[in-house]
Amino acid sequence: MERSRIPRFYKMSVPERVRTVRDRGLVSPDDYKDLQSGSHTLSVQLADKMIENVIGVMGLPVGLGLNFLINEKEYVVPLVVEEPSIVAALSSAAKLARESGGFTVESMEPQLIGQIQIVDVANPSRAKAALLQRKAEILNLANSLHPKMIARGGGARDLEVFIHPSQGPGGDMVVVHLLVDTRDAMGANLVNTMCEGVASLVENIADGRVFLRILSNLTDRALVKARVRIPVEKLTGKGFDGEQVRDGIIVANDFARIDPYRAATHNKGIMNGIDAVALATGNDWRAIESGAHAYAARGGRYASLTQWYKNDAGDLVGELEIPIKVGTVGGPLQTNPTVALNMRMLGVESARELAEVMGAVGLAQNFSAIRALVTEGIQQGHMTLHARSVATAAGTPPELFDTVVERLIASGEIKIWKAEEIIAEVRSQAEPSTVSVEEDERRDEETTLEGETLGAGHGKIILLGEHAVVYGRRAIAAPIPLAIQARVEDAREGVELIIPRWGVEQRLDFKAKHPQSFARSMARVLEALGLQGRGMRIEVFPNVPRAMGLGGSAALAVAVIRAMDAHFSLGLNDERINELAFECEKVAHGTPSGIDNTLATWGEFMLFRNGEKPQREVIEVAEPLPIVIGMSGVESLTARTVARVREAWKKNPNLYERIFDEIDTLAGNGLDALKTGDYDTLGELMNVCQGLLNAMQVSSWELEEMVQVARNNGAVGAKLTGGGGGGSIIALCPDDSARVARAIRAAGYNALEVQIGGA
């Protein structure tokens, strides 16, 4: 198993991420418990022992940089940072780099420099010669002050002497550099102690007066050199040619190389990553920052710390040279539990290895920042993340957060005052009113933004009939009181897609070698509607979770097609919308039944059959069904499960045809139970159907666990819904749906109570 590759990690909830890092062996059972409970965070009592005048503790997010391959070793890198996009950008860059062998990093045996300033020197040249002649004596005295460091293989290694002109009254000054190997300790106090300890001897030898004695944060005896190679074809995407991206990155780096104003921002981007690792590992990020910027100005003019160029094969090559001296023992490691946990997760064996990881992180962050600048631009790439930051700053409550982010982006005013205004609007809309239930539901389906009519598509659940419906059998499906809404605006060029709630913000690349399924779907729709070449921005507002078996892809297609219909005045009817959505479903799922797009279009409780004997019968239910939807958090890849069932059917058609017939019979009996309101029978039919779906190997252990939890807590029937392989379950709960929902949440999953159908 690839240690640092965790697909779809960013889509998981925090508890799911914690479970995943435990399952990957990245944290111990004890660390897992601490992360679950929050007991790993720094307490006020411990903080009071770290600095003076403590009154509290301020927290910052701890994220994980994934996909890192450094010197052929995998790393999951803990990052402490508050700025949006840094973690995602690093993980994306590391994923791209690992496909070409990852990062290679070299480093020096790190040494700190202690400086001893000597003034009022009678003869500086003679003092320099004398100090160098008695170097061994000075080093022996320094090392006698720290015998434990010598025992660990460290200590004072060498001595350098410089003469600097001075405008002071004492003439030129002599400066001694004490070069100290502090091993895995940060070593600042140790070096300062050595400088203090040898000051009197140095003063006597130089025949002058020692003034300052302190370490330097310009640690150019601890250089780290990171390198990465990215083939030009890996840079192609999002509507940009790989060679254009490569050359743009090189030109942007040249700008930072010659212009100090650009270099300051360029190097800040490098430190965005390095500082985040330093904070996570309890290191002095201020010292690292000052040393890096001083090194960037070593030639007398401040310049870029990285170099990007094209090699003979046309690949993009990036190199970073930076001084980094860090520690892995002492200080915060013994005091701050989060630092200790992060270090265990990172798994470095020495301070030198930690510095090499930081070098790779700095180069990765620099690549991501420049690539964003030369392609879509920083502002476009960060719109959603910026909106999330503004919503947080405005104090948005968790239950309103996604809605506020969506409306901020849609408004074009991503400002705190606008977020506060939206919060007030949403709260006022949630207050009780005299609007009827039917009118309220209609309004929710059709509008989101200040009365603007939006395109909408319905989500769905399947009570009975998954997979068999692909083979011409009946299925019972119902719309859920959730929908996906969309709107379309004119844009200068290209097709931009923004789905804040799903973290999607991109320009569709129709010419990519392997375009995404949504891009392929939209290409078909645009061609069918004669809209090729029209610039547009598609904003999507989902309430149906993505890839949870709830018809999200079909609802998305229907919502977007209706939004295009409204914006471009196309005059499409529901039949045409359904046809276009079905074409999109073919792209997404291979051989769909047509049930998802049909429910997404009409939003009616129905008995559905496709094939030679098509059937679409609206089902009238006297009382709404109390359903709990349990969501596993594991994406349901419908195309994969449909393909798996098809392969099994081809190998053993007689067996699978009998299974499909059984499921068809269950759907028929379920229709009768629905019409009579016989919940117990309907629940039993759902349980039997789940057994058949499990036998076809489209269930998963997460789904089975939720099914069992639901049944144990009062559900009369529970089964997966949709393609399976992950996704969601539905549980029929006529007695106490709240109890079932609580039990599913207690098991670590998400749950939603809904009422299906009804007059």
Residues labelled catalytic: 83, 268, 284, 382
Query: In the block, which residue shows the tokens 């005896």?
Result: 221
Distance in angstroms (rounded) separating the CA atoms of residues 693 and 95 = 36
The answer for residues whose C-beta is within 8 angstroms of residue 238's C-beta and 6 or more apart is: 375, 376, 506, 507, 509
CB 599 within 8 A of CB 577: no
Residue 280 CA from chain centroid, whole number: 17
CA triple 273-274-277, angle to 5 deg: 90
For 397, the 3-state DSSP assignment is coil
Distance in angstroms (rounded) separating the CA atoms of residues 553 and 504 = 14
Which amino acid, residue 126?
Answer: R
Q: Do the strands 504-507 and 209-216 form a parallel or antiparallel pair, or are they unpaired? A: unpaired
CB 524 within 8 A of CB 583: yes
In terms of Cα–Cα distance, which of 470, 587, 484 is closest to 527? Answer: 587
- Decide: residue 425, CB within 10 A, 0-12 exposed, 13-18 middle, 19+ buried: middle
Distance in angstroms (rounded) separating the CA atoms of residues 40 and 54 = 19
Distance in angstroms (rounded) separating the CA atoms of residues 245 and 237 = 9
Distance in angstroms (rounded) separating the CA atoms of residues 408 and 420 = 10
Q: Give the pair of three-digit tokens for residue 753.
A: 């109570």
Distance in angstroms (rounded) separating the CA atoms of residues 182 and 213 = 17
Distance in angstroms (rounded) separating the CA atoms of residues 395 and 397 = 6
CA distances (Å), origin 356, targets 10, 277, 308, 662: 25, 11, 19, 61
Q: Which residues of 170-187 are buried (b: 16+ CB within 10 A; e: fewer)?
A: eeebbbbbbbbbbbbbbb
CB 522 within 8 A of CB 507: no
Which amino acid, residue 523?
Answer: A
Q: What is the dihedral of CA 365, 502, 385, 430, to 10 degrees?
A: -160
Q: Give the pair of three-digit tokens for residue 270.
A: 């490098």
Summarize the chain as % helix, strand, coil (round to 5): 50, 20, 30
